[in-house]
Structure 1
Amino acid sequence: MALLDVALGVGEARLVPARFDFGVLRGRAVAGELPVLLRDVVRVPRRVVARSAAGEGGPTLAQRLATLNETEQLNALLDLVRGNAAAVLGHSSVDTIKATQQLKEVGFDSLTAVELRNRLTEATGVRLPATLVFDHPTPTALAEHLRDRLDLKAGAPTPAVLLELTKLEKTLTASGVNAEVHAQVSARLRTLAERWDGLLADTEDNPDGEAALDIDSATDDEIFDLIDKELGLS
């Protein structure tokens, strides 16, 4: 009778009462197999553009993580897992995905598990098995597995000065400057390169003395100050 009351109030010529399994329908939506008639009924998960590779010349995920300590690495990977899990399920917030909760408890099935695997493969650049979510059933377990697969423990962190130089390189190649500014920057970069080489030479020629700036013991701030001075940024 309740359905009849609803039907009488809608004013449509034809109505079909039906019971839907929205978990299955979300899975079909993820796989791109949802019938057109149901696209207004089921919330289709929003696709997130992956940031795995060093898109547009930026550092890869592994390179970014390499600058963090172990706790920060795990937190970053946990955010990655929870964010993609929420997107797959069509949730508007990652708060619905608890770090230690079984993913199947929040609605993951075989189809959505494969979609999450695909997203994480794209985001990390690491080939992951279709059984990933079932082998590592919580976001925390997944994050720890991704960290192991990325082999972050083996590599030494990328020196901060090299990361800063990467940023500078991107700025220089993306800047649209006139010929005069281009010449000024080129001259400063050549001077900086000569001084940088000179610092190493001073250290090698006078190993027991004090060089103008010992690059082996200089802090990142001291090196950045040198770069800023040579480029006229300070």
Structure 2
Amino acid sequence: MGARMAGTGAAGLSADEGMELFDATALGDDPVVVPMRLDLRAVRELPVVPPVFSGLVRTKDRRTAETGADPAAALRERLAALPATERTSALVDVVCTHVAAVLALPGAASVDERRPFTDAGFDSLTAVELRNRLGAATGLRLPATLIFDYPTPLDLVGLLTEELVVDEPGGVAPLLAELNRIEASLAAFGPGDDEDDRIGARLSALLAVWRDSRADAAEQPSDDLDTATDDEVFDLLGKEFGIS
């Protein structure tokens, strides 16, 4: 708890210091007083500085306006430059890095992206802290119920992919995000569940339909006259007008 408080900028007080501040506030005229010690450097480094502290430090928003640095814009540019196959892993790293920071873990590699946030030790306070961190990193307005709406890091990556990645028409990012969610759901089923055969048959059927549709598309003759040879054009005209 002490480490978590220090991370928010609230430094600890000894018993003597606490009693001294209590006496000072009891004798004062201010109706509302919060006796506490602040580490302003830690407050300054918070992803989102609470409004009540904003007058005490130069916040990141103000520094961004002065320097032109925007981490959210940089993330979008980075994702846009990556191949579609690498965007999911990049966002997994972003989410897991912030999860590790909130839970005081060594790093992103120590976070299981398929493990529910509530099983990993999150509560309502740490949920809000993660929401604030990810909001600052992505520039998105995220709900306070984020980890309950998207219960695993991989689920959350699906949301961020939809919001941050702008694909060209026909892009595969939404489909890949949906497959990520399906993968996470499948991981929740342990081996030996009664529905294993039913789920496996459904997946096999979907894969067969997908492969058949790709094969059918590959076998379709081309009607593109711009690339057709003379013989192909005459053959097409013959079929159209019944000329042998």
How high is the TM-score relative to the length of structure 1?
0.45
Report which of the two has the higher share of helix. 2
Which fold has the larger relative contact order, with Cα–Cα distance below 8 Å and residues 6 or more apart in sequence?
1
Q: Report the TM-score, using the length of structure 2 for normalisation.
A: 0.43
